[in-house]
Chains A and B, each alone.
Chain A
Amino acid sequence: MIAVWKHELSNHFHSLTAYIFSAFLLAFVGLGAMLYNIQSAVANFEYVLSFVCLGFVVIIPILTMKVIAEERRQKTDQLLYSLPITTSQIIIGKYLALLVVYLVPLVIISFYPLIFSKFGEVYLLTSYGSMFAFFMMGAALMAIGTFISSLTDNLGFAAGIAIPVILFNYYSVSLAEYVSSTAIGSAVALIVIAVILGFVIRHLTRNDKLAFGVGAVLSIAIAGLYVMDSSGFEGLLPDIMTKLSLFERFYKFVNGVFDLTGIVYYVTVIVFFLFLSVQSLEKRRYN
């Protein structure tokens, strides 16, 4: 694992991606700090971070797109498979390298509130609390990016999927206001999602029975629950969309609440998507 981690790290710094990522992140934060802290003379550094969030839509995919897709493209994945290391070690090593690349600009950024505090009163606790949540949110998005990268050998495709996924997550709260909040609307949307899930499983496993089984069981379960108690579906879809938003939970920290459930949610997302990445890599062995 350490070998993979070191190798991946040197890889990031050999190529431009780590520098582009750091440069963009620092530029966004610098811009935000100038607008909020200097020009508007606001002492809250956390607002800068919430301003920078949108930048993740672009810079996270730049960093994560090649993590696994590149291995497949240049056929080095065969080397990784033949080495005496497990796929979990490969994924974790690669992911930890991503975190280090992410930490480098964050370490620089962490001095900003201290600098500002020389010139006025800065809420350091909220600033650093938000910075921690900022790190966790980025880490969760990177896990998602890693998983998307493991699905393909095409870098463009990996980035092209990751960008809309993160963008959708970013806007899911605003979009939640526009989707139907009626019980029947939520039930239909969930059934559609179950059917799509069935297609995804079919694509991944090429197992018709399993895909059909999962799709059908979920659809029937949703329909059954709806028939039994339709009031439970009232406003369920917008609710789910809000709950799933990684960004919405971050704003809580910006507002000065150190929300432990948010941290737990980020960790869950990280573990879940890294697990999926391992499965995706393992699956390659089976076809």
Chain B
Amino acid sequence: MITVEHLTKCYGDFMAVSDLSFEIEEGHVYGFLGPNGAGKSTTMNIMTGCLSATDGTVRIDGYDIFEEPQMAKKLMGYLPEQPPLYMNETPVEYLKFVGAAKGLKGMELAQQVEEVIDQTKIGSVRHKLISALSKGYKQRVGIAQALLGNPKVIILDEPTVGLDPIQIIEIRDLIRQLGESHTVILSSHILSEVQAICEKVLIIARGRLVAFDTPENLEKLRQSSNGIDFMVEALPNEVEEILETLAVYEEYTLDEVETGLLKVHIKADTDDARSVCRQLFFAFAEKQKAIVEMTSKKANLEDVFIELTEGETTSGLSVIEKTDIAGGMDAADETAVHSLYETEDIPDGSDLEESEVEKE
């Protein structure tokens, strides 16, 4: 549906997007994830023809956005970060203009305007001035505008930014609905949002694609380089002895909380955390050493995100083993795995566990 190849955009000396390539298939909800300034909006602006690229191509259903912009743009509906609304018009007037500019006429125009008003539930404010609408309604009018002309692809740039929690839920439901009949691409820096609505996630940092996979697989990615923490009533040398017989770990750290109580952190080299837990449990039980607490650390998308996006700035952190990543993925996701290796410094998440995460 959309093919982006070697897309590069420079602002003077600053490289906003650098050699970005990916392919988007029809009929899914895609999430474009990245910290502020990662190049999400720039990429979307280029994809929709609002901005030129320094290098590379974007094809929408075979139409090059730079060579055949009219045809390509007809296939897309775009809601920029700030909804492009004429404040002194009513939603109906506004939608009629956009529809007409998209080439709709007469009955078809009136019908489609009604349809999108229904779909986005803005019927109650249809004759109010847009300037008088709440932010949530303005966003809906913006989405309605993108839906006109029945485009195959709908691109939404941070559609829920600045909305209250109830509005966010409503907009997410709307996006989910749209995903049933359109290809939807939305950008966000909110992880839970992407996790909640997107079937595939593209993580972009410093203008580069660092991951492209389903949210579940991206989570597995972290799980596979698993850490297991447990508290055991034993002395350090006893623990070392038992662990050496097991060989389930890559490395471990011991931390004496109080005399006779140790906190052990294990970095296991398997993606099956449960079996490691089981082995640990029985091994210690056999020696009459009680494990009083054990947690296998489950990463969420947030960890993956921080790991991947900060990977390029943080150095001196260990690189995730190749086998670890591949272990957590299906064969079909090999391409995504490949893209991961292109970023050289993927840090160990454990060091970042404490970092402040910008949560929703």
Task: Tell me whether A75 and B101 are in contact (CB under 8 A).
Answer: no
Q: Which of B21-29, B67-75, B183-191 contacts A (4 or more CB under 8 A)?
A: B67-75
Contact check: which of B52, B74, B86, B101 meets A74 at CB < 8 Å?
B86
**Which residues on A sit within 8 Å (CB–CB) of B70?**
84-86
**Which residues on A sit within 8 Å (CB–CB) of B102?**
83-84
Give B43 Cβ to nearest chain A Cβ, in Å. 14
Give B187 Cβ to nearest chain A Cβ, in Å. 14
**Which residues on B sit within 8 Å (CB–CB) of A285?**
50-52
Query: Given that A3-B97, A78-B50 are known contacts, is A84 also in contact with B73, CB under 8 Å in the complex?
Result: yes
Interface: B122 (CB within 8 A): no
Interface: B88 (CB within 8 A): yes
Task: Tell me whether B84 and A78 are in contact (CB under 8 A).
Answer: yes
**Which residues on B sit within 8 Å (CB–CB) of A243?**
none
**Which residues on B sit within 8 Å (CB–CB) of A3?**
97, 100-101
Query: Given that A6-B97, A10-B93, A74-B87 are known contacts, is A81 also in contact with B50, CB under 8 Å in the complex?
Result: yes
Task: Tell me whether B49 and A81 are in contact (CB under 8 A).
Answer: yes
**Which residues on B sit within 8 Å (CB–CB) of A4?**
101
Contact check: which of A2, A74, A79, A287 meets B98 at CB < 8 Å?
A79
Task: Tell me whether A287 and B11 are in contact (CB under 8 A).
Answer: yes
Give B148 Cβ to nearest chain A Cβ, in Å. 10
**Which residues on B sit within 8 Å (CB–CB) of A79?**
80, 84, 98, 145
* Minimum CB distance partner of B109 in chain A: A3
A7 to B102, CA, bound (A): 13
Interface: B78 (CB within 8 A): yes
> How many of chain B's residues touch chain A, expressed as a range?
20 to 34
* Minimum CB distance partner of B97 in chain A: A7
* Minimum CB distance partner of A286 in chain B: B52
**Which residues on B sit within 8 Å (CB–CB) of A7?**
97, 100-101
Task: Tell me whether B103 and A84 are in contact (CB under 8 A).
Answer: yes
**Which residues on A sit within 8 Å (CB–CB) of B78?**
78, 82
Task: Tell me whether A76 and B85 are in contact (CB under 8 A).
Answer: yes
- Among A14, A79, A82, A287, which residue has the most Cβ atoms of chain B within 10 A? A82
- Among A79, A85, A287, which residue has the most Cβ atoms of chain B within 10 A? A79
Query: Given that A78-B80, A79-B145 are known contacts, is A84 also in contact with B88, CB under 8 Å in the complex?
Result: no
Query: Given that A14-B89, A81-B50, A287-B11 are known contacts, is A2 also in contact with B100, CB under 8 Å in the complex?
Result: yes
Interface: A206 (CB within 8 A): yes
Give B109 Cβ to nearest chain A Cβ, in Å. 10
A95 to B173, CA, bound (A): 42
Interface: B48 (CB within 8 A): yes
Interface: A40 (CB within 8 A): no
A265 to B159, CA, bound (A): 49
Give B64 Cβ to nearest chain A Cβ, in Å. 14
Q: Which of A54-95 contact B (CB under 8 A)?
A: 74-79, 81-86
Mark B residues whose CB is within 8 Å of A: 11-12, 45, 48-52, 69-71, 73-74, 76, 78, 80, 82, 84-89, 93, 97-98, 100-103, 145
Contacts A/B (CB < 8 Å), 13 sampled: A3-B101, A14-B88, A74-B86, A76-B85, A76-B86, A78-B80, A81-B49, A81-B50, A82-B49, A82-B80, A83-B98, A285-B51, A285-B52
